[in-house]
Amino acid sequence: MTDPGYALQLSEAELARYRIMAAAAREAETELWQLAGIVPGAAVADVGCGPGAMFPAIADAVGADGRVVGVDGVPTTVTQAQALVTASGWRNITVQVGLADATGLPDGSFDAVMMRHVLAHNGLREQAIVDHLATLPRPGGHVYLVDILGSMMFMKPDDPDVDELNEAYRRFHAEQGNDLNVGTRLDDLLTAAGLELVAYRGWFNIIKPQGELRPPAWAARNAMVAAGVISPDDLDRFEAALERMLAQGATIYAPLFGAVARRP
């Protein structure tokens, strides 16, 4: 059974968000990737890889002599990631279905294990997930976590309807036991898993959405309606507000944390 209970629907808008975040990551995290050993020739696992938005950056970093294994718990997402790999002709990237706390990957078989934007969706399993990730690098290899500080994410210009949607999103996650501020605890999760902390940094990604891009709250709208956090009658109002905001040249300020830790 590989249903992680993931709430964000994949759509063109959500794929666009992943691609923009991945492009921002290449710029912002160069030093952390080096410290994590995501370098030419490395074997890298991307756990919770989604549709593979990070694959171009990882493939570029490890080069033709490296290899990449993507894992995700949602089979249709793995199919999308696989389609990207096939279309891009990457022979050294494979993708498989698996849970973040039980990937099925062999112990000690990677130089670096990356997990991005997954822990915030797994409040009840954060430590179990990081404990499992800690088994995957070889001794001296690294785990690299990236996650958010949701309480400080904001968008400009101010719009009361968008604020209401984002507030509902935070409430929705809190009700599921998720911690949208998990970025501030990456160091503790890694050391509790028996790893040695190498680096821990925070920064803002400042994103100018274009075209289809929407915030994560919009991708979770159906799950939020099902959970009773918003009503179906609110959706048209929220969509109109997002379109209004985009038409005015919106900016998203996304506070992120990245932590690298070594397996002894």
Ligand X SMILES: C[S@@+](CC[C@H](N)C(=O)[O-])C[C@H]1O[C@@H](n2cnc3c(N)ncnc32)[C@H](O)[C@@H]1O
Give the interface with ligand X as residue ranges (CB under 6 A). 4, 6, 18, 22, 48-50, 53-54, 72-74, 77, 99-100, 116-118, 121-122
The span from the CA of 258 to the CA of 86, in Å, is 30
**At CB < 8 A and 24+ separation, what contacts does 29-35 make?**
29/146, 29/258, 31/199, 32/144, 32/199, 32/201, 32/258, 32/260, 33/61, 33/144, 35/142, 35/198, 35/199, 35/260
Beta bridge partners of 70: 46, 95
Least distance between ligand X and beta carbon 75 (Å) = 10
Least distance between ligand X and beta carbon 51 (Å) = 7
253-to-130, 179, 203 alpha-carbon distances in Å? 27, 19, 10
Residue type, 189: L
Buried b (16+ CB within 10 A) or exposed e, 26-64: eebbeebbebbbbbeebbbbbbbbbbbbbbbbbbebbee
Separation of CA 84 from chain center = 17
Least distance between ligand X and beta carbon 125 (Å) = 6
Q: Which residue carries 């080069």 as its tokens? A: 63
148-to-153, 173, 176 alpha-carbon distances in Å? 8, 13, 17
Residue with smaller CB distance to ligand X, 103 or 159: 103
Least distance between ligand X and beta carbon 110 (Å) = 16
The span from the CA of 205 to the CA of 208, in Å, is 10
Least distance between ligand X and beta carbon 28 (Å) = 13
Residue with smaller CB distance to ligand X, 159 or 252: 252
Residue with smaller CB distance to ligand X, 159 or 209: 209
Residue with smaller CB distance to ligand X, 116 or 263: 116
Residue with smaller CB distance to ligand X, 43 or 78: 78
Least distance between ligand X and beta carbon 200 (Å) = 19
Residue with smaller CB distance to ligand X, 70 or 137: 70
Least distance between ligand X and beta carbon 146 (Å) = 7
Residue with smaller CB distance to ligand X, 37 or 216: 216
Q: Which residue carries 């990882």 as its tokens? A: 58
